[in-house]
Structure 1
Amino acid sequence: MFYGNWEMSPQVLKWLIPLGILDLVLKSLSLWQAARKGQKWWFIALLLVNSAGILPGVYLLTHPEKKTRRQ
């Protein structure tokens, strides 16, 4: 069987590492926001579904955090 060469080129790593960090940041923000709002089903979906940042992005865009006025 042919397994190929598992080494990654520097070009691939140049894009893969920042995209992985962006996915981690989006997922962390969306999980934190869903937990604070008590949205159990969104939290479970965001935790279990690995969608490469698509689902966390959709959540953050459709459920913006409301700004409160501090006095």
Structure 2
Amino acid sequence: MALFELITNPWFIILVMIWTLPWKGVALWKSARHKQKVWFIVLLLVNTLAILEIIYLGFFQKKKKHK
């Protein structure tokens, strides 16, 4: 019962949104800029509390080539 009370608490939901939205925004922006359509769709549709977004940003985004 305590878990249900936690996830229905408005402050918890606001905290989760504050945590998730910046990660999702950056990951979506970078995947769109690099024309990674599959990643963009997955990141847009799947909500993993920013875990998938952090994994994408850390390991799967295309890196800039330094000249």
TM over 0.5: yes
Number of equivalences: 61
CA distance in 2, matches of 1:48, 1:64: 21
TM-score where L is the length of structure 1: 0.67
Q: Write out aligned runs for 1:1-71 (5 A).
A: 8=9, 13=11, 16-62=13-59, 63=61, 65-66=63-64
Give RMSD over aligned pairs: 2.8
Structure 2 unaligned residues grouped into runs of 5+: none
Is the 8 Å Cα contact of residues 24 and 50 (structure 2) preserved in structure 1? yes
Distance apart, 1:64 and its partner CA? 6.0
Identity %: 40
Higher helix share: 2
Amino acid at match of 2:16: L
Structure whose alpha-carbon radius of gyration is higher: 1
